[in-house]
Every structure is written in structure tokens, then in C-alpha cells.
A and B are shown apart, each in its own frame.
Chain A
Amino acid sequence: MNEIGLLVQRLLDETTKTSVGLFVPELVLSGTIVAMLLCRILPLLWRVPAQWIALLGAFTAFAWTLCQFDQLVGGTMQPTPIFTGLLMFDQFATFFRMFLCLFLILTITLTVLSGIPDREDGPDFYTLLIGATLGMMIMSSANHLLMVFLGVEMASVPSYAMVGFLKGRKKSSEAALKYVVYGAGAAGVMLYGISLLAGLTGTGSLPEIGHRLSMIVSQGAGISDPIVRTIVLASLMVLVGLAFKLSVFPFHFWCPDVFEGAAAEVAGFLSVASKAGAFALLVRFGLAFSGGSAAVSEIAFALGIGIGVLAAATATFGNLSAYGQTNIKRMLAYSTIAHAGYMLMAVSALMVMKYSKHGGAESTAATLSCIEGLIYYLFVYLFMNLGAFAIVALVRNQIFSEEIEDYNGLATQCPLLCFGMALCIFSLIGLPPMGGFFAKLVIFASVFKATSVHWAMWFVLGAGAINTVFGLFYYIRILKAMYLKPRPDGARKVSYDLMPVGLFVLMICLPTLGLGILPARFTETFNNVASVLLTGR
């Protein structure tokens, strides 16, 4: 009895004294949700606009994570597992939480500008939006298989509802339904994988997995060994759940339909935030195999090669499929698939180099640059993809169309929006002065380093290179429509307020250029994040 009391006491202490304090940003977001719903219920507060509450909450959470990140980098805070090891509080997690909060702010601002949820639906929409972000933040700090699943589901369920938010539109509802069913299928597979893994290892804690696995896998065991076979299958199934979130080929089918059906703002949110969370989780899961015996590393190495092949396939498939698209959101959906492929290459290179037999100090530096490249890519991707979707949303409000041919000659009417679009597109293609170029460069460089470990990475690198060329064609089509085609007579005129809208567009589009011109400052921070994650220093 006494012992249980002591245990409870320690749990309470750990929770109240450390964990809750570090969990404040999430709590603030939860509080924001409650506050918005309260406002909806109480007639007195009915007039308070939900977006301002949401924005306030998002800002507070962002500021808080920023402080935490600053303290972590400055060394006044130490990385620590919280909630009895369910979550991990470290640079990597905090960076992604910060990233997600920043993105939340930008998305809310965009919705305020484009007015997609009306006053009536505002609280509901922002509840879903913040709820999904909360899930993604948990994904990025998950340290336990349970939290992996909870995070993925928490991020997914609000997303389903958001996709179907444009009530009364057939496509929207259909997209939501597809998303739900597909998501449910993927989650089922993932859950199966998780339970297999937990059953095999007897723990859910990610840092433990590598160690535990090495106890059950005998040295030199191949695929004919049933335990190895089970581990591979279980890992594969967990990866399927993440692949669904990342829309990796062949688990991408939901993506074009959902993006086409959802509002552009939601599509932009899903394409960036949910990918960021999923990549954080993927990296954590990938690193879970570390600390194990050579046999475990071999499994992880094989998974790394497999991810690389999938990455190459995803990038190629995404780019090629984008060719024939006439709807800009659908085209951008395929483009996000392709970009997921590029980023996946970084994860593949990471795992290949991390788990190679001849690892050393050199390979540690190389793995660092993989994570650095991934984070850099995500950071640039935030601006360039959100920028593209934001402009699609803003243009949609004026011309009521998302077909590429309706963009003909837009440059004469809204030069600023088209300029922003051009910046985003150049960055998405990866042309030199833009951030997209630099990000691709870092990733390809790490893949190139990985080629010395395994020949299959040459294939990945080749696919990456050729896809950059593929990408050129369909992106340029948008620019061609905007800048070279004449505006047809009788087309709707586009007018927008220069002050908030133009400023917002510049604010999210110019960083794509800035990140390409001044990468040094960022790479330093990203390198720090990566090194703490990999080496604990």
C-alpha cells in the first residue's frame, strides 16, 4: 500500500513539477479551444470573433515554444522525457512545435483574409484546426508507440472534418468521406503493426525498442527467421500509417481527391503541417532502432533502403501525374506528393547511413546533414507551399475558379499575387537563388554521401535529379498561363486590398527567396537541432 502510495506520489510529482510546465503550449491551445466553444455557448460572448481568440492562443503558444527553444539552444533547459516517458521534450520536438504554431498563425491569418469559415462556423473551424495542430505537436514529441498512434489519430480526425467543411458541396463531402475511410484503413494497419511491435518487445517506449529487439534477434538471422520476419512486417505496417499521412506512393490515393475537394486553405494546412508532424514522427521511429545489435541495425538498414525506393517512386509518380492536371489544387496535390518524395529521400539517407555497418564519426556528421536538410526543406516548404495555396485561395475568392486555364493573363490584373506565385513556383521547382534550391541541394548532397554505403542510393539520387527536371514542366504551366497568355475578354476582374492581403502574400513568399540567399543562419540552428537529436549534444 505504502509502495503504491509512493509510486502515485512520484507520478504526481513528475507530472506537476516538470511535465505540465513543459507542456504549456499544448495546454494553451487546449484552453483556446475551450474558450472558443464557451464563447459559442454563452450569449454574452457570442459577439467575440472566434478567429481573434484562435490567433491569440496560437501566438501565445508560439511565443512559449519560442522561449523554450531558445532556452534549450542556450543550454538553460535540458532535453528531458516528460509524462513518464510518453513524450520527449527536446530541441527537435520543440522546433517542430514552434514550426507548427507558426504555421497555425499563418493559416489562421490566411483564413481571416480569405474569409473561408463564416462567422457562424468560425469557432467550429478553428477548434478543428487547433485540435489537428495539437495532434501534430504530439506526433512530433511522441516518445512512445501509444503516443504515436494517439498523435496520428488526433491529427487525422479533425482533418477529416475540416476537409468536409464546405458543406453542401458534393466534392467536399465526398473527399471527406474518402479521407475518413482511407485514414481508417491506414490507421488499422498501423495499429496492427504497433501491437505486433509492442508484443514483441514488451515495451512501447521508442528509445527502448532497439535495445529490446537486440535481445530477441539472434546474430546473423535473416528473413527466414520468424522473429525478423515479424519485426519487418510490424515496422512496415507502422510505416504504412505514416506513409498515409505523408501521402507516399502507393498510399497517396486520398491526396488528390481530398485536396481538390477541400478548401485551398485546408489543403495548404494539410500539405504542410500534417507532413511536418509525420516527418518528425518518422524520424523518431526510424531512430528507435538505434542502440541495438548489428542484426537490428541490419533490419533498419533494409527499411532505410526500402524507404529510399519508395521515395524515388513517390517523387516520380507525383511529378508525372501532375502533368495532365487542369485543376490547380489537384496539381499542387501531386506536387506535394512529389515533395514528400524528396523529403523522404533525406530520411532514407539518414537511416542508411545511421545503420550502415561501417558507421563512424564521418557518418555521424553525414547523418546530421540529413536531418538538417530535412528540416531546412520543411521550413522552406512551409513558405512556398502555403504561399501557393494562399494565392490559390485569394484568387479563388475573386474569379471563383481553380482551373489553370482561368488563370490566363492574371499578371496584368494582380501583379503582386502573380509575383508571389512566381516566387513560390521557382522555389518549388528549385531554381538557384530560391530556398527550394538550397533545400534540395542539401538533401541531394546527403543522398550522395549515402551512395557510398549502398549502391541503391544511386538510384534514389538519379530519381531525385531527373524529377527536378520533370517538375519544371508542369509548374511552368501555371506561370505561362499567368504571364504569357492574354486575359480573355469578359473574364472576371481581380481586385484585392494591397494592404493586408498584399502584405501577407509578400510576407509568406519573400522568405522563399530569403532562405535561399541567407541559408547560413538557419543551417546553424538546424544543425544544432539535429545534433541534439542524434548525439544528445
Chain B
Amino acid sequence: MESLGNRLSTLLAIAWLLPLFGFVVEVFAMSWPNANRKSKAAAYFAIFCIGFGFVCSSIAFYEWGNGTDWAVFKAVDHGHGEAATATEHGDHAAVGHADHEHKAVTHETPKQTVFAGTFYNLAQFGNLKVSLDYYIDSLTLAMFVMVTLIATCIHIFATGYMAEELVNDYVDHQVHTHDGGHFHRPGRFYKFFSYMSLFCFAMLGLVLAGNIFQVFIFWELVGICSYLLIGFYVERHSASTAANKAFIVNRVGDFGFIIGLMILWTSFGTFSFADQHGTDGKVQPGLFSMARGHDGELAKTTDGKTVVLKTEQDGHGHWEAPAEPSHQKTITYTLLIVAGLGVFGGCVGKSAQFPLQTWLPDAMEGPTPVSALVHSATMVAAGVYLAGRFYPMFVPEVLLTIAYVGCITAFVGATIAIVATDIKKVLAYSTISQLGYMMLGLGVGGWGAGLFHLVTHACFKSLMFLCSGSVIAGCHHEQEMPKMGGLLRKMPITALTMLVGVMAIAGLAIPGTSIAFSGYHSKDAILATALAYTKLNPIHFLLFVVPLLTAGITSFYMFRLWFYTFLGKPRDQHLHEHVHESPWEMTGPLLLLAVLAAGCAIGGEDGKLFKMLTFSQPVGVADGVDGAAAHTVSLPGHTAIHESHSTAGSAALLAAFIGMSISYLVYGKGVINPADIKRQAASVHAFLANKWGFDDLYDVMFVKPAHVVAKFAAAIDKFVFDEILHTFVRMGIAVSKWDRKFDEGVIDGIVNLMGNSTYSLGISLRNVQTGKIRQYVTFIAVSVVTLFVLLFALYPKG
């Protein structure tokens, strides 16, 4: 078992570090002064690094499956049967379930499926250990395979998309110089790929990380990469502003993250997820063990205000709260909520959740492959990933917050997408909306559902972004949909693969059969969980209704995008004539991703992907939480969710079809003129086009006040501090003038005197060296005698 852990960690470490190696090589080799800017070597090297990473991840996945006897699929099957029997037991299911599962697991020895350990100890400050750990479970593996696969596709796509950078003199038509010309600069092909490699390294490191501090490090590192890539065309004012915006907005979220980290450190005394085996054979409990133990329950005191941490192992190796109060380590319940909200704050920033969603649409200023990889498939999903990874630390109150934040985000994002006309902006808002779905899924207790949607969304959204990239490249960097239209004939592969993506995100399926696009399965899983949740907590009924509505809207605006772009008559004839299908290195990845987008979730919740993900589901999620006990809300168990499936699924499908139909009528058939609607509901349209006014609101709330404060501070600086400084400086000058005289006259004199005398002493010593051999030999005799005389003189007389 241990060796399997070693093998896995080695494989994943290779996959993780190769891109870093690639980054170093690309940056240094290509920054060489006479490197060839027309060479694609950087791209090939980057593809090799990430491609090899994919191979390693796949092997690791296979090894993990083998080493656990493909326990994922078997054990969960078993679990399902168990769940079914539990249902028959009726009302007592929730109570009896834990025991059942316990027995089910013990009668055959469970295989180890989570592998955690330490790569390298960076530093130790008192009790605070900062180390590079790894935490490998099925979620880690799934993320690794997904990230490396999608990144490989996107790298390949980018060799085609970024090919125009392969010049010594790149003309940026969107940057105007003062004399009216365009901005010229050397091509940055290699730089793009080096940033991409760095990003892959950071992202994989984030996923592999075994402690929350390490997560934070890589969290910031992906933030930096995002900043660099958004600002890739740094000379464009919009790009550099967008990069700054993304970075600063993320800082707001990270502020919460740091607060969460500090609370956790103070109360728990460790950052590590998993239990740590010390060199002395002692086992230190990790965060999850301390909070949840083996049964997934918080050990609250009777008044419910304090949580006792489970820091002692009982005979079975289960972590339990110490019985004796003096040994107890505690944290107040409120503080646990604050810590959870703090960490979630980081997720909000990174995953562009309400109210920090404003940076993501602007981030589309980066090159399209970046939007596909960083700002839709991986980095922005990191927030969801972390929320999933950190799930055991979230108390129900925090989960409720997460659910509402996700719900609002999903709705806001979807509504704005209806009116967006820039093809990438539409996709960006849809990303926001879908991330909201994932958060919602996690928040309502659908751990597996949320992360399921993360993976499927990564596939179809990266596909759609790459398609849009292909369209943009084909249209010579025109991104406005009103100027497109009728592109189906000109670029059939792009159009059809995009259609696959659109159907996937809309969540279409053939009713009555199990044939469905991946988005249907994952969205269905989320909605079913939400429905089960609202059944348990009727007061939170909006958590089901709004997402359902949003599903319809999603279907509407996605089909709008497709009809707008690919069907109908060309709206800009000049543009249309020059459109061409993209080369193979761009369409190849599209086809591969289209297959994934359509089929990666085959089987839905009985499919392999979902089962694999839920295998690392935190303890207790499957059972649900009974609100009557002590919690404010109840969380649905698997059984309850299962019951809601058919209802939720049908409702979602209906919503999707309605959305699609309206879209077809309006944009495909032209039955209703969209311009009329726009006129009719001008205020609504303006409101939505203005992105619900968030940017204006933040401008008034934060940016303007910040400017005022900055001006005030600058004024104080200028008129108060500078004045004081100037006075000091004037005094200093006066003193130094006098000092100079002193210096030149006295100090220099002394120093020079010393220097000169030493020097002339040295020169005069040369004279001793006469070069006359006779003198030398005489000196021997003289010296011996002199030395003897000296010793004689100084030696103590007896």
C-alpha cells in the first residue's frame, strides 16, 4: 500500500513539476538574445511537458484504480445497494445508516484510497510547519487527468491560434501610438507558452496540495499567471486594466482566505488536510480528522456554542474528542463559521461568485486559449474545487451561504449573458453562471453533484471557448456577434463542435432514455439535490426555483449565441468573404473536446465519472444531516436526492427545451424581432447590459472613495511630509557643505596621510629587496643572530 502511495505521489509530482521545468527552459532559452522568435520550439516543448503530465496522470489514475481493485466502482455499487436497503427501513434510515455502512465496510478490509504525505519540509517556525504535502484521492486524480488533458488540447490549439506572434515585428492593431500609427513589438510566442506552463504547474500544485497553506501559495501563483495572461497584450489599455482588476478583486477574496487561515491555525494548530505520521511514530490529526472524526459529526458541547476538536485516537484508530476537559482543544462555533466564510471568501474571488464576479468578463481581454484554460475550465474552477476539498470544515450555516451565493451568481450571470453581444463575453457570463451552479450544488449538500458539474463544465466550456477562438481567428479578430452570422458553411467543424458544446451546457437529452449530453447529467444532479433540499427546508424554496429558471435562460442564451453566429444571413458581407476554417491544429482539439463534452458523463449518477468523484466524498455527506437535531438547516442524504431525480430531471429538461425553442423562434426563425423586444423592455435591457450596475456600484462605493483618499494622502504627502523632508534636506545640505570642508581638510588629510605613508612604506620596503645574493646570505646570519639576541633579551632570566 505504502509503495502505491509512493508511486502515485511520484507520478503526480512528475506531472506537476514538468511544466515548471518547461517554464524555466522556455523563459531562459527563449530570452536568449539571438533566440529565433519564429520558432515553434517553445510550444512543442510546452506541449511535451503537459502531454507527458497527462500520461503520468493517466498512469497514476490507472494505478490507483488497480491498487484499490477499482474500489470506486465496486464499493459505490455496494453503497448504493446499502442505500436501497436503508430506504426500506423507512424513517429510521438516517439513524441506522451509519452503523450499516460501518458494518459493510468492516466485513472486508477496506483498501486505502487516500494517500497523503510530505514531499519536502520547507520550514518550521515553532509549531508551524510549512511543508510541501500531497493529498491524493479520486478527486485529485480526476482533477489531474482533466486539467492535463484539457491543457494539452488547449496548448495544441494555441500553437495555431498564437501563430501570428511568430514574428520579429508584431503589429498590434488595437494599440495606437501618438503619431497615429500602430504599436510595433517583437512577437511573444514563447512568452505565452512559458506563462501557460507556469500556470499548469501552479494549477496542478494547487490540486495536489496537502495542506491549506500550500493551497494558498499555489492559489496566489495561479492568480499571478492569470494576471500575466490577461495582460498578455499589455500595451492595450483595456488588457492591462483588466489584468489589474482581476488581480485586485481576487485580493479582496484572498483577504478573507487569509483570515480563515489564521483562525484555523490558531485553533487547530495545523494546516494539513490529512493526518500526519511523525518520525516518532505518533500520528498528528489533520484538519478533517480534528473537525469531523470518522463519523462526520462535529463534537459540539451541550450548549452548542463550542466545538471540541477530535484529537485523540480510540482503539479502532478513530479520532475522538478527549473526554477530559483539560486535554480538550476547542473552537467556538461562531469562529468556525467565520473561518469557513473566510476560506469561502477566497473561493468567491477566484470563482467569480457574487459579489466579486465583475472581474471575469473583463478577463476575456487575454488571448482566447487563456480564456478557455484559465478563465473557464481550470483556475476559476479552483474555487469550487477548494470549496469541495474543504467541505468537511464548512458548517451548515456556511453551506447555506454558499448555496445562496451560488444561486444568485447563477441567475445574475445568466441574465447578463442574454444581452451580451461579444461572443467571448457571453461565454464568460455563462461561466460565471455555471460556477454559481457548482457552488449551489455544494451548498445544498450535493458534494458529488457540484464537482461533477465542475468536470463536465470544464469539458464543454473549454470546447466552446476554443470554438469561439476559432471563430475569432477565422473572422480576423472580430468578436461582435452582430457582425457575424451564417458562418456554418464557412467553418463547419467549428460550428458543429460548438453545437455539441451548446447542447451540453443547455443540458439537452432525449426524454425517456438515458441518452444525454454531459451537462444534462451534472445539472440534473445539482437540481435534484436542490429539490431534495427544498423538500427538507421549504423556506429555502428559491434554491430550487431560481436554478431551474436559470437552466431555461442558459439554454436560451446559448442557442442565441449559436444561431446568431452560425445561422442566418451574413450581416457583414466584407467580413464574411474573408472567413476561413481554422487549420487542423485548431480543429483537432475541438473534435476531441467535443467527444468529451458530449460523453464524459455517460451514465449520469450511475456512470463511472460520478462514482469515481463521490468516492472521496467526505464522511457523512451521503447520509445527509437531520436539521431537527441541532442545525439550522437539514441537508439531504443520497436517498432523498435519489427520490427527487425524476422530478428535477424532467423539470430541467423542460426548461432547457423551452429556452431552446424561444431562442429558435427569436434568433433562428426570426418570428419575433429581437430589436422590438429590446425597445419594449428598454430599461430592463439597459439594466442587464449594464451588468446589473455592479461595476458602477463598485465604482461609486470603492473606486471613487479610494481615489479621494488617495488624492488626500497624496496632498498630505506633498504639502506636509515633503515640506518637512525638504527642510531636513536643506539643513542636511548646509551641514554637509560645512562637513565637506571638514572632510576635505581634516579627515581626508588624515586618511591620505595614512594611505600615503603606508604606501610609501611599502615602496620603501622594496629597497630591502636589493637582488644581491651576497647581501641575502649575509642577512641569514644577521637575522639568526638578531633573533637569538632578541630572545635572549626577552627570555625570563632564571
Complex partner residue of B765 from A178, A306, A321, CB under 8 angstroms: A321
Within 8 A of B (CB), among A212-236: 220-225, 228-229, 232-233, 236
A35, CB-defined interface residue at 8 Å: no
Q: Which residues of A contact B787 (CB under 8 A)?
A: 236, 306, 310
Within 8 A of B (CB), among A236-257: 236-237, 240, 244, 250-251, 253-254, 256-257
Q: Is the CB of B792 within 8 A of A182?
A: no
A256 and B766 CA atoms in complex are apart in Å by 10
Q: Is the CB of B780 within 8 A of A189?
A: yes
Q: Is the CB of A186 within 8 A of B780?
A: yes
B102, CB-defined interface residue at 8 Å: no
Fill in one digit per residue for A304-316: 1 if any B CB lies within 8 Å of its CB, else 0. 0010001000000
A220 and B773 CA atoms in complex are apart in Å by 43
CB distance from A41 to the nearest CB of B (A): 36
Closest to B783 in A: A250
Q: Which residues of A contact B798 (CB under 8 A)?
A: 220-225, 228
Complex partner residue of B791 from A240, A302, A324, CB under 8 angstroms: A302
Segment from B444-452, B511-519, B524-532, B755-763 that makes contact with A: B755-763
A83, CB-defined interface residue at 8 Å: no
Closest to B795 in A: A223
Q: Which residues of B contact A181 (CB under 8 A)?
A: 773, 776-777
CB distance from B350 to the nearest CB of A (A): 40
Interface SS of chain A = helix
Closest to A303 in B: B791
CB distance from A315 to the nearest CB of B (A): 13
A177, CB-defined interface residue at 8 Å: yes
Q: Which residues of A contact B758 (CB under 8 A)?
A: 320, 323, 470
Q: Is the CB of A182 within 8 A of B777?
A: yes
Complex partner residue of A182 from B768, B769, B771, B773, CB under 8 angstroms: B773
A225 and B795 CA atoms in complex are apart in Å by 11
Q: Which residues of B contact A223 (CB under 8 A)?
A: 791-792, 795-798
CB distance from A293 to the nearest CB of B (A): 14
A345, CB-defined interface residue at 8 Å: no
Q: Which residues of B contact A236 (CB under 8 A)?
A: 784, 787-788, 791
A407, CB-defined interface residue at 8 Å: no
Q: Is the CB of B779 within 8 A of A253?
A: yes
A181 and B776 CA atoms in complex are apart in Å by 9
A244 and B783 CA atoms in complex are apart in Å by 12
CB distance from B752 to the nearest CB of A (A): 14
Q: A221-B798, A224-B798 are in contact. Are A324 and B776 (CB under 8 A)?
A: no
Q: Is the CB of A189 within 8 A of B777?
A: no
Within 8 A of B (CB), among A315-343: 317, 319-325
Q: A186-B780, A321-B762, A322-B762 are in contact. Are A306 and B791 (CB under 8 A)?
A: yes
Give chain A's interface residue range (CB within 8 Å of chain B): 35 or more
Fill in one digit per residue for A159-188: 1 if any B CB lies within 8 Å of its CB, else 0. 000000000000000000110011001100
Q: Which residues of B contact A237 (CB under 8 A)?
A: 784
Q: A178-B773, A182-B780, A236-B787 are in contact. Are A224 and B797 (CB under 8 A)?
A: yes
A240 and B780 CA atoms in complex are apart in Å by 8
Q: Is the CB of A232 within 8 A of B791?
A: yes
Q: Which residues of A contact B797 (CB under 8 A)?
A: 222-224
Q: Is the CB of B765 within 8 A of A317?
A: yes
Q: Is the CB of A222 within 8 A of B765?
A: no
Q: A222-B795, A222-B796, A222-B797 are in contact. Are A250 and B779 (CB under 8 A)?
A: yes
Q: Which residues of B contact A306 (CB under 8 A)?
A: 787, 790-791
Closest to B786 in A: A250
Q: Which residues of A contact B762 (CB under 8 A)?
A: 319-324
A133 and B794 CA atoms in complex are apart in Å by 39
A254 and B777 CA atoms in complex are apart in Å by 10
Closest to A222 in B: B798
Q: A222-B796, A223-B792, A237-B784 are in contact. Are A178 and B779 (CB under 8 A)?
A: no
CB distance from B267 to the nearest CB of A (A): 40
A21 and B784 CA atoms in complex are apart in Å by 41
Q: Is the CB of B780 within 8 A of A251?
A: yes
Q: Is the CB of B788 within 8 A of A185?
A: no
Closest to A318 in B: B765
Q: Is the CB of A324 within 8 A of B763?
A: yes
Complex partner residue of B776 from A182, A232, A320, CB under 8 angstroms: A182
Fill in one digit per residue for A399-443: 1 if any B CB lies within 8 Å of its CB, else 0. 000000000000000000000000000000000000000000000
Q: Is the CB of A323 within 8 A of B759?
A: yes
Q: A302-B795, A317-B765 are in contact. Are A240 and B773 (CB under 8 A)?
A: no
Q: Which residues of B contact A251 (CB under 8 A)?
A: 779-780, 783
A232 and B776 CA atoms in complex are apart in Å by 24
Q: Which residues of A contact B781 (CB under 8 A)?
A: 185, 189
Q: Which residues of B contact A224 (CB under 8 A)?
A: 797-798
CB distance from B753 to the nearest CB of A (A): 16
A233 and B784 CA atoms in complex are apart in Å by 9
Q: Which residues of A contact B779 (CB under 8 A)?
A: 250-251, 253
Q: Which residues of B contact A470 (CB under 8 A)?
A: 758
A510 and B448 CA atoms in complex are apart in Å by 57
Q: Which of B769, B773, B783, B788 has the most CB of A within 10 A?
A: B773
Q: A253-B779, A321-B765 are in contact. Are A240 and B759 (CB under 8 A)?
A: no
CB distance from B542 to the nearest CB of A (A): 65
Closest to A323 in B: B762
Q: Is the CB of B769 within 8 A of A257?
A: yes
Q: Which residues of A contact B783 (CB under 8 A)?
A: 240, 250-251
23 contacts between A and B (CB under 8 A): A178-B776, A181-B777, A182-B777, A185-B780, A186-B780, A189-B780, A223-B791, A223-B795, A223-B798, A232-B792, A236-B787, A240-B784, A244-B780, A250-B779, A250-B783, A251-B779, A251-B780, A251-B783, A256-B769, A320-B765, A321-B765, A323-B758, A323-B762
4 new A-B contacts at CB < 8 Å, known A181-B773, A181-B776, A306-B790: A253-B776, A320-B765, A322-B762, A324-B763
Query: Which 7 pairs show the lowest CB-CB distances between chains A and B?
Result: A222-B798, A323-B762, A320-B762, A223-B795, A222-B797, A324-B763, A250-B783
